[in-house]
Structure formats: structure tokens, C-alpha cells
């Protein structure tokens, strides 16, 4: 059986859970508590030196990186195919999944500036510093320091909003040709973005697409209507976490929406 190390609300872990749900696959669930720092446990970091989730272990083999994991699952787990059989169709899916890393970085920026900053700023400076120092990637440490200092006023937020503007425009164009990003079939291209959109919705940022991109809006509603969404994403969000998102996001909603509208004019 496949073993999945994952975080309840981690967007990349959710991507893998959606793929497993679409396949109808059972797996051995190994939750990693990101809030208490279990991802930095030396035993876990032997599996994933990046100290992030998800990680899978299957037939003794360890895999990290959610996009790679999803392709592997589609190859080795029986169930509905989540990529086309023809090389061109598979390449079209990969063009979308290739973008996920840059979009994930933008999601991370928004989450950190809206939610994590509010939570971490309530902790003593020395505790915040320890959290940074545990991050193995120096670029991530520098990014967190910047966001903790400036919040949504950071230029990094403008960069994230510009990425969203480009993504939504490209999706709107693609969805003119079918209900899903590559046409008539639901694929890994769609799966890779669902949890990102839900994170933005929880951050009170859904107006970025509902006000400007009708096809994208309809696409996300179709995604949420699939059984895999509830099983793999919604059911994993603890009520206290959802409440924290609402508490910290609501005061910044109008600011973010206004800045995104300005971004659309410039992009």
C-alpha cells in the first residue's frame, strides 16, 4: 500500500489526496503537523530533506514533489486515467502542471502575508526567529523575513497578484474550448490547481476571479462539485483553522481586491 505523509490544509498535499481520491485508491495516512513543526523532525527529513509535505513511500521507494507524485500515482495506481494517452495530450497537461510551482509560490506569498504573519506576530521575536532558522532553504527564509516585516504591502504580493492575473487569463482562454483545462476530460492539469483556488477562497480572495473571469468561476464550481473535493480537501480543514482564515483575511479583503484590479490594468 502507498503511504502518504501530508498536512491537513497543505495545498500540495491536497493535490495528491485529490489524485488518490479520483483513482479511488486507499493509502496509509501519515499526518504531519506543520503548525508544531513536525516537518522539521530529523526522521521525517530523512524522507524529505526540504521539510515540506507531501511525501509518499510506495514499494520501498520514496518520492517528493507533488506534481511528480501525481504523475507517478497516475502511472502505477489502477483507476481512471488522469492524463491523455497520446503524447501531445500529455504534453498539454504538463504545460499546465509545469506552472504549478510558480503558482504555489504565489499562494505561499498570499497565505504568509495574510494569515501566517498575523499568527506569528503574536509570538515572541525569538520564537519567530527559531521558525525561520529551521527552514533549510535560505531563499525561503529571506522571503518569510520580508513578508513578516511588510505584510501585504510587500512587493512580493504584487508579484503574486501578477502571476494570478496571467494564470486566470490563460485559464479563461483555455476554458472556452471545453469544461476542463485541456478540453473534455478532467486531468492532472485541473487537479493541480484546485487546492490553490480553495486556499485563495479561504483567504477571502475569490473576487479575483469571480468578478473578472466567468469561465474560471464556473470551472472552480465544477471542481468543487466532484466527490474528490470534499473527500480530499474540504473534509481535511479543521474548523479552528477555517475560523482563523476568516478572522485574519476579512480585514484585508478590500485591499487585496483593489490591488488585484490595478494589477489587471497593468498586466
Q: Is 170 exposed, middle or buried (0-12, 13-18, 19+ CB in 10 A)?
A: middle
Confidence of residue 27 (pLDDT cuts 50, 70, 90): very high
Are 132 and 261 in the same domain? yes
Average pLDDT value for the chain? 93
Give CA–CA dist 209/100, Å, rounded: 18
* Structural domain ending residue among the three candidates 63, 85, 107: 85
- Please tell me the predicted confidence (pLDDT) of residue 132: 67
Q: What is the residue range of 50's domain?
A: 3-85
* Structural domain ending residue among the three candidates 54, 85, 116: 85
Region 241-264: mean pLDDT is 91
Are 123 and 169 in the same domain? yes
Are 43 and 100 in the same domain? no
**Domain count of the chain?**
2
Are 134 and 260 in the same domain? yes
Are 31 and 155 in the same domain? no
0.95 exceeded by pTM = no
Give CA–CA dist 144/150, Å, rounded: 10
Q: What letter does residue 265 receive in the DSSP assignment?
A: H
Are 14 and 119 in the same domain? no
Q: What is the pLDDT of residues 209-240, one digit of tens each?
A: 999 999 999 999 999 999 999 999 999 998 98
Rounded to 5°, the CA angle 195-201-204 comes to 150
Q: What is the DSSP string of 3-59?
A: EEEE-SS-HHHHHHHHHHHHHT---EEEE--TTTTGGG-HHHHHH-TT--S-EEEET
Are 101 and 211 in the same domain? yes
CATH number at residue 8: 3.40.30.10
CATH number at residue 164: 1.20.1050.10
Residues 6+ apart with CB under 8 A from 255: 152
Are 99 and 165 in the same domain? yes
Rounded to 5°, the CA angle 6-13-203 comes to 115
Are 156 and 28 in the same domain? no
- Please tell me the predicted confidence (pLDDT) of residue 267: 65
Amino acid at each position: 500500500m502507498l503511504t502518504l505523509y501530508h498536512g491537513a490544509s497543505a495545498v500540495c498535499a491536497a493535490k495528491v489526496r485529490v489524485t488518490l481520491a479520483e483513482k479511488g485508491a486507499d493509502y496509509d495516512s501519515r499526518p504531519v503537523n506543520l503548525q508544531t513543526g513536525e516537518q522539521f523532525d530529523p526522521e521525517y527529513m530523512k524522507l524529505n530533506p526540504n521539510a515540506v509535505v507531501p511525501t509518499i513511500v510506495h514499494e520501498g521507494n520514496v518520492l517528493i514533489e507533488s506534481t511528480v507524485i501525481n504523475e507517478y500515482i497516475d502511472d502505477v495506481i489502477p483507476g481512471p486515467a488522469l492524463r491523455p494517452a497520446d503524447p501531445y495530450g500529455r504534453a498539454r497537461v504538463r504545460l499546465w502542471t509545469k506552472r504549478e510551482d510558480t503558482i504555489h509560490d504565489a499562494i505561499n506569498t498570499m497565505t504568509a502575508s495574510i494569515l501566517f504573519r498575523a499568527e506569528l506576530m503574536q509570538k515572541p521575536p525569538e520564537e519567530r526567529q527559531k521558525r525561520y532558522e529551521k527552514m533549510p532553504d535560505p531563499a525561503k527564509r529571506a522571503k518569510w523575513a520580508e513578508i513578516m516585516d511588510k505584510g501585504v504591502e510587500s512587493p512580493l504580493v504584487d508579484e503574486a497578484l501578477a502571476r494570478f492575473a496571467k494564470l486566470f487569463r490563460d485559464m479563461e482562454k483555455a476554458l472556452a474550448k471545453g469544461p476542463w483545462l485541456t478540453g473534455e476530460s478532467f486531468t492532472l492539469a485541473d487537479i493541480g490547481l484546485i487546492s490553490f483556488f480553495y486556499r485563495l477562497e479561504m483567504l477571502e480572495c475569490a473576487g479575483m476571479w469571480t468578478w473578472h473571469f466567468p469561465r474560471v468561476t464556473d470551472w472552480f464550481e465544477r471542481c468543487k462539485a466532484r466527490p474528490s473535493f470534499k473527500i480530499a480537501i474540504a473534509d481535511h480543514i479543521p474548523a479552528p483553522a477555517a475560523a482563523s482564515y476568516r478572522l485574519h483575511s476579512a480585514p484585508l479583503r478590500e485591499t487585496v481586491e483593489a490591488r488585484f484590479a490595478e494589477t489587471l490594468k497593468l498586466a
